[in-house]
Amino acid sequence: MTMTSNSFDTLNLIPQIRKAVAEEGYETPTPIQTRAIPVVLDGKDLFGIAQTGTGKTAAFAIPILQRLSIEGGHERGRRVIKSLICTPTRELAIQIGESFSAYGRHTGIRHTVIYGGVGQLPQTEALKRGVDILVATPGRLLDLIGQGYIKLDNLSIFVLDEADRMLDMGFIHDIRKIMDKLPKKRQTLLFSATMPPDIVSLASAYLINPSRVEVTPQATPVEVIEQSVYFVEKNDKRHLLAHILKDEAVVSALVFTRTKHGADRVVKDLQRAGINAQAIHGNKSQNARQRALGDFKSGHTRVLIATDIAARGIDIDELSHVINFDLPEVPETYVHRIGRTGRAGLSGIALSFCDSDERDYLRDIQKLIGRALPVVEEHPYKSTNPAPVFEARRDDRKPERRPERKPEHKPRNEHHQKPQHEPKKEPKREQPRHEPKKEQPRPEPKPEPKPGSNPAPEPERRRDDRRPRPHGPRPKDDRPFGKQQKKDGLPRVG
């Protein structure tokens, strides 16, 4: 590894961790890592505004591993939990566990991951053997604390991950209960993608004199993604999807539906059409979800159907297509969905189906991204309802600072026609959104789901502060990093 002023060598990491980081292929810390690692190593509280894809997991995992390694104690006698990472979903918990395995592989520090929706026995067995670090979702954590399997008296570092999402999922009471069980003298790290007032008050209640580290939100610039819309009626969407997926140019497709039942229906319809697809959503058992995701990541399954909440936080490399089977009600969700394709300079295609009832959603999306989506005119399931007209009003339009930007991309294999630009002023629709509120009213915290039950509220209707990046590519060092960097030396939007 070359010594540059930016490299991990400047972060005073112990050799065991430097070695692991190098083995992961990381050469340069991401901005959140550069700024957060020294703070955490120093023992200070941290308020990190960063989302998945920015390298935030390593930003807390690396210094935690280092601190616990230096403190020692894990070599002799029974291990006690010294660090707890609380994260909202099973998928995130598993991913964080994998990061601790990777960065901690030469340290001798032991961790385990617990989450609901699966039997507790393997988890309680691992806890009995003793761990230094525990990664947990809130419901199962409280459950196992209640059963006496988990003691937090020796805890010194607590991480609350994706705090905004925890609140959105109704976990506030669980978080409070967990916080009450932690020793008063501890280091607390709070990570959140957005900073609504609830999060600010949570931070001021639980963090002591924190260092605040904020990194630019991750999003693949929408400009690099080929986007188009198909006007199609509800009942024809499945036929249209099958028609599109028969094209081999669709190497891998993540298809978003609004509901879990919708996702299952799409899988069945595709299977009937001879197309293999799997669904990932909260009603699936944990094993089924992991299997579906694994099959998709390995290329074994070409088509994955997901709800927003199930797909969030999941890192899928080299995704060629995102298909919005249903348009999201919240326009920011559109940007977040399509940002999963077109990463690391790969071309990305986002196709959206819009039925007569979804025209308002489309209008909101176009307003948000500041342009009309090209309409695919030539397809066998075209809606006979006249397409709506759209013009991004001058004052709505995001400033375009990329004169070199190409005209609207053509969707592959389909003819399309430029959208009409008849001006039409429409009254602003009241968008049902979750505006940040004070703590109440909140849904009752949900217990960690039992197998086959729904672990999270769906459909996702989260008010998300992410916005498309309207001003062209982000500065290089702001970009989130990912594994792609190993292959091509380029940071990957992850």
Residues engaged in binding ligand AMP (CB under 6 A)? 26, 28-30, 33, 52-58, 315, 480-483, 485, 494
> How many residues are listed for the chain in this entry?
494
- Of 193 and 292, nearer to ligand AMP (C-beta) is 193
CB of 125 to ligand AMP, least distance (A): 28
Rounded CA-CA distance 106/205 in Å is 36
CB of 198 to ligand AMP, least distance (A): 22
Q: Report the first-to-last Cα separation within the chain, whole angstroms.
A: 23
Name residues whose C-beta falls within 8 Å of residue 265's C-beta, 6 or more positions apart in sequence: 238, 257
- Of 20 and 270, nearer to ligand AMP (C-beta) is 20
- Of 55 and 217, nearer to ligand AMP (C-beta) is 55
CB of 479 to ligand AMP, least distance (A): 10
The tokens for 128 are 């009995």
CB of 455 to ligand AMP, least distance (A): 20
- Of 419 and 482, nearer to ligand AMP (C-beta) is 482
CB of 483 to ligand AMP, least distance (A): 5
Among 360, 335, 321, 289, smallest CA distance to 466 is for 335
Name residues whose C-beta falls within 8 Å of residue 43's C-beta, 6 or more positions apart in sequence: 67, 187
Rounded CA-CA distance 204/192 in Å is 14
| CA angle at 190 for the pair 34 and 156, rounded to the nearest 5° | 90
Assess contact for 67 and 41: CB atoms under 8 A. Answer: yes
Q: What is the DSSP string of 10-75?
A: GGT--HHHHHHHHHTT--S--HHHHHHHHHHHTT--EEEE--TTSSHHHHHHHHHHHHHHHH--SS
Q: What is the DSSP string of 198-217?
A: HHHHHHHHH-SSPEEEE-PP
CB of 175 to ligand AMP, least distance (A): 21
- Of 162 and 448, nearer to ligand AMP (C-beta) is 162
- Of 48 and 116, nearer to ligand AMP (C-beta) is 48
Among 20, 64, 18, smallest CA distance to 42 is for 64
CB of 235 to ligand AMP, least distance (A): 39
CB of 341 to ligand AMP, least distance (A): 16
- Of 116 and 480, nearer to ligand AMP (C-beta) is 480
- Of 455 and 482, nearer to ligand AMP (C-beta) is 482
Sign of CA dihedral 403, 409, 415, 421: negative
